[in-house]
């Protein structure tokens, strides 16, 4: 079983419009509603790849009830979410068909009490012994300590469970100091963490700060990995047009899937890059286009980078 932690779960709404313009009314051509939050997206992709998953985090209010009901229909996915008195947030993505771009609106999430945070820590400790790997994903809702991920990383390391961290800002800065096995920032998050915009130099700096390995999302340019075994780049064979929401989460699922199956780093990067690009072809986060994934996985290659890891 692979465990994903989403402290700030969401109900994701995706609106498709012919063209997005300021100060006017839009006619929505298609609406999608899905369970959301980065870790839930990761879990749904992992389940589709055939991996048993468990999800924990917080859920509450009418949107939390809807989210848990939707998750109950997902195969190979176990709901271990912790109830809270607040209401699970919504996120809204507006896909502009004319421009091929997506505009995102993210609510902050419910305020979590100290007792609810303690309940989450207890649930997490109970789940760890059965986990092959753990993914800690996304933002922190109000009330959760900024060092929350650092605490959860230390717990995973004490249990001997590989742990991946995918967050940003101060939670990333504190989390990386707890020495996670892998961090997966995007280029902007990596630059903010390290103060350098050169992706490879920044990835190496992140390893010096505590991460055992770093896989950076570089958008259309694919993925960069700096690991104890070496460094690699992987990229789609051509630019991909569509909705990029959730593409990074699918990359995390690919990395975790490869880890669980004992794949080497180049194979993990191919899988992660193909899933990420195939998600851009899909309608919503947490999904991917199967045909695009199979095609891309057969055509993506990795390039080993020179220099010591």
Residues with a known catalytic role: 249
Cβ neighbours, 10 Å, residue 27: 6
Distance CA 34, CA 91 (A): 10
C-alpha distances in Å from residue 113, one per residue of 84, 120, 247: 8, 11, 31
The DSSP element (H or E) to which 20 belongs, if any, is none
Axis crossing angle, helix 169-177 with helix 199-209, rounded to the nearest 10: 50
Closest CA to 241 of 289, 188, 294: 289
Burial of 166 (0-12, 13-18, 19+ CB in 10 A): buried
- Asked if residue 35 lies in contact with residue 61, where contact means CB atoms within 8 angstroms, the answer is no
Distance CA 108, CA 85 (A): 15
Q: Which residue spans within 24-81 are E strands per DSSP?
A: 30-36, 53-59, 77-79
């Amino acid at each position: 079983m692979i465990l994903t932690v989403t402290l700030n779960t969401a109900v994701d709404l995706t609106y498709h419009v012919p063209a997005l313009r300021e100060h006017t009314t839009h006619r929505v051509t298609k609406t999608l509603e899905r369970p959301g939050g980065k870790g839930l997206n990761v879990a749904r992709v992992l389940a589709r790849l055939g991996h048993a998953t468990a999800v924990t985090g917080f859920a509450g209010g009418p949107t939390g009830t809807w989210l848990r009901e939707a998750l109950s229909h997902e195969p190979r996915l176990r709901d271990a979410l912790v109830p809270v008195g607040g209401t699970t947030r919504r996120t809204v993505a507006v896909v502009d068909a004319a421009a091929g771009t997506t505009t995102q609106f993210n609510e902050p999430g419910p305020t979590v009490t100290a007792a609810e945070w303690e309940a989450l820590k207890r649930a997490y400790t109970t789940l760890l012994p059965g986990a092959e790997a753990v993914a800690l994903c996304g933002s922190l809702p109000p009330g959760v300590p900024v060092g929350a991920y650092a605490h959860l990383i230390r717990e995973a390391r004490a249990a001997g469970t590989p742990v991946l961290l995918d967050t940003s800002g101060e939670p990333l800065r504190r989390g990386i100091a707890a020495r996670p096995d892998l961090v997966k920032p995007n280029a902007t998050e990596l630059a903010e963490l390290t103060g350098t915009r050169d992706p490879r130099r920044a990835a190496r700096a992140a390893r010096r700060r505590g991460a055992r390995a770093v896989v950076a999302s570089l958008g259309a340019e694919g993925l960069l990995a700096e690991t104890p075994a070496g460094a690699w780049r992987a990229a789609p064979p051509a630019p991909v047009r569509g909705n990029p929401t959730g593409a990074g989460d699918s990359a995390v699922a690919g990395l975790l899937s490869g880890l669980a199956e004992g794949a080497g780093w180049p194979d993990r990067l191919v899988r992660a890059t193909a899933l990420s690009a195939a998600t851009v072809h899909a309608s919503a986060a947490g999904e991917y286009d199967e045909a695009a994934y199979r095609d891309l996985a057969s055509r993506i290659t990795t390039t080993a980078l020179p220099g010591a890891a």
